[in-house]
Amino acid sequence: MNKNSIFFTITLFFGILILLTHSIIYMGYNITKQQQIDLYVTKYLKTFHQIQKEFHQGKMPPPPKRENSFRQKEFPSMLPPPPKELHIDRKILATSLEKYDLELSTLTYQKIATDGVLLGYEREWELYEYEGYKYFYLKDRFNDILIKDTMQVADTTQYMIGLTLLLNLFFIAFYIFLIHKLKPLKVLKENITKFANGDLEIDTFCDGKDEISDVSNEFNNAIGQIRTLTHSRNLFLRNIMHELKTPITKGLLISNMLEKNKFQESLKKAFFRLEYLLNEFAKIEQFTSSNIKLNKNLFTLEDIIDNSIDMLFLDKNEIHINIKEHFIVNVDFELFTIVIKNLIDNGMKYGKSKLHIIVENKTITFSNEGEKLPYPLQEYQKPFNRKYENSSAGLGLGLYIVHSILKAHNLVLEYTFEKNHNIFRIDF
């Protein structure tokens, strides 16, 4: 998953939120549990102090009012000290403990210490929980006392676990709901990527009523309009190409019926040139609409150069070709021929000396003497940029077509100016 994605951010947020909630509940549970332990220990120690005081004074005050819970104000958080040497008859002690909902344990200390859960301890006392009851073990120099709290208080652990599970279910349900609401955004992003790659048959219609659905539906309407315009444009181009090819074909047939002479050859060349230009316009339409389909295969660069020269009706003596290395390239032969042709054509139109083509080290270089380009090469690679090309020599598409074809082949045209020479280079 992309770390910059909104879905990753939401997932990370809910993960941290769940961990933070667990931590807060765990800390709160431990703090509450410790406070309860302090309350129990305070109760038991105060009870022993009270029983000891009553025993020495020889009177037994009325029992305290019973409550189901212990409030913090009755038992301060500071634990009282253990009673001093508790010399009381066990029968009298048992009778006194009953008034405080306590009794002497019938279980041994070893049994409680082995099977019970130790909740807290200090040097003079230990607090255990066994089968839902609290057991308080008090020890002094003369005897040890193990008492049982007859009031059984429900364990809050199960409630804390239930609360944690409930919060987890709530967070997970809300996370799923949020991801479900944002899912159309992910689908829209995938469709936009397809649209950017030239797929006009996508459908982004969404039946929701939120903002994402509104954007998806508006984008779907825009695609529909673009699709209609594209179909109309393609129909127009097919018709005009057909109407232009018909007279060219007739002209070629008529020229072949004439007597063979210089006039016939010139006429045939003119019609061949028109047919060639018409095909070039068709390819230009593909480039400007980013509708390039490659048919790659293995060819020698020398064959591509020869075919480019033939397309320009040039004599090899008009340019200087130096093949220092013969190597194979994996390209679309027809399209790459246009690349070489356009670079040769530009060099001959705008150069002041004979064009040199050098093939070596997996690189083809075009160089000749001329003025340095006044603008960066990127400016010349824009379509219909006639202010950067001679308006009487072309449509301003030469380097744009070169750039488009090379881009489709994952190649780059490089430009340098050295010693009054313009140098264009393609590195394979």
Task: Give me the CATH number covering residue 364.
Answer: 3.30.565.10
Q: Domain boundary at 107, 123, 153, which?
A: 153
Question: Looking at residue 61, what is its pLDDT?
Answer: 47
Residue 298 lies in a domain: yes
Decide: pTM greater than 0.75: no
Structural domain boundaries enclosing 10: 6-153
Residue 253 lies in a domain: no
Q: 427: pLDDT confidence band, cut at 50, 70 and 90?
A: very high
Residue 297 lies in a domain: yes
Q: How many CA atoms, within 13 angstroms, populate the side-chain half-sphere of residue 105?
A: 22
Question: Looking at residue 394, what is its pLDDT?
Answer: 47
Residue 214 lies in a domain: no
Q: Does residue 39 carry a pLDDT above 70? A: yes
Lowest-pLDDT range of 31-35, 145-149, 154-158, 194-198:
154-158
Residue 34 lies in a domain: yes
Question: Looking at residue 87, what is its pLDDT?
Answer: 57
Q: Domain boundary at 123, 153, 183, which?
A: 153
pLDDT over 70 percentage in the chain? 83
Question: Looking at residue 390, what is its pLDDT?
Answer: 47
Give the model confidence (pLDDT) of 321-371 as tens digits.
Answer: 898 888 899 998 988 998 999 899 888 888 888 899 999 988 999 998 888
For residues 175-193, average pLDDT: 85
Task: Please state the domain count of the chain.
Answer: 2
Output 368 or 284, whichever has higher pLDDT.
368
Residue 149 lies in a domain: yes
Question: Looking at residue 72, what is its pLDDT?
Answer: 40
Strands 356-360, 328-332: parallel, antiparallel or unpaired by DSSP?
A: unpaired
Question: Looking at residue 79, what is its pLDDT?
Answer: 60
For residues 162-179, average pLDDT: 87
Q: 389: pLDDT confidence band, cut at 50, 70 and 90?
A: very low
Residue 229 lies in a domain: no
Give the model confidence (pLDDT) of 110-169 as tens digits.
Answer: 888 888 888 888 888 888 888 888 888 887 666 678 888 888 766 666 777 888 888 889
For the stretch 211-216, contacts whose Cβ atoms lie closer than 8 Å and that sit 24 or more positions apart, written own/partner, are 212/181, 212/182, 212/184, 212/185, 212/188, 213/184, 215/188, 216/184, 216/187, 216/188
Residue 42 lies in a domain: yes
Q: Domain boundary at 153, 173, 188, which?
A: 153
Give the model confidence (pLDDT) of 200-228 as tens digits.
Answer: 788 888 887 788 888 888 888 988 888 88
pLDDT over 90 percentage in the chain? 6
Q: Does residue 31 carry a pLDDT above 50? A: yes
For residues 299-328, average pLDDT: 87
